[in-house]
Amino acid sequence: MSGCEKEDPWGHIPLCSMSRAIVGEGGKTGSWRIQKPILDQGKCVLMRGKAHCHLCWLYCPEGVMSRQTPPVIDYDYCKGCGICAQECVGKAIRMVHEHED
Ligand code: SF4
Ligand code: SF4
């Protein structure tokens, strides 16, 4: 589904082409994952008074990081690529083995 013509749940109107994760022929594709991102809310700059960041939302190639404070990861579709952890300016996201917390 294109998101350009609609507001997201937080009232933002995307200015670029984007899609949202849905169940497709591959089912819930997060089941392929061998590592997963863990978000430490205390380190997220949004939780420390910054009005804007959302780099994790911007760079996630699967569109499964929400644009809210704090960001929320949709693990049903996150493939564990680690890009969000690489791009996070607050070092708030770390990658762990799928069965680790
Ligand atoms: S690990 Fe990859 S797919 Fe999962 S939330 Fe981070 S950037 Fe998105
Ligand atoms: S990139 Fe990191 S610091 Fe920025 S919103 Fe995402 S989790 Fe927070």
Backbone angles phi, psi at 48, to 5 degrees: -110, 30
73's CB contacts (< 8 A; 6+ apart) are: 37, 39, 64, 65, 66, 84
Please name the residue whose Cα sits nearest to atom 3 of ligand 2: 44
What does pTM read for this prediction? Answer: 0.80
- Would you mind telling me the total number of residues written for the chain in this entry? 101
| Domain 29-97 in CATH 1.10.645.10 | no
Which ligand 2 atom is the nearest neighbour of the CA of 55? 1
Instruction: Give the separation between CA 24 and CA 40, rounded to whole angstroms.
Output: 30
Which atom of ligand 1 is nearest the CA belonging to 80?
1
Instruction: Identify whether the C-beta of residue 54 lies closer than 8 Å to the C-beta of residue 71.
Output: yes
Mapped onto helix, strand or coil, the DSSP state of residue 3 is: coil
Q: What is the pLDDT along the chain (101 residues), one digit of tens a residue?
A: 444 556 667 777 766 666 666 666 777 888 889 999 999 999 999 998 888 899 999 999 988 999 999 999 999 999 999 999 999 999 999 999 998 87
How is the chain split into domains, by residue range?
29-97
**Residues having CB within 6 Å of any atom of ligand 2:** 39, 44-46, 53-56, 71, 88-90, 92-93
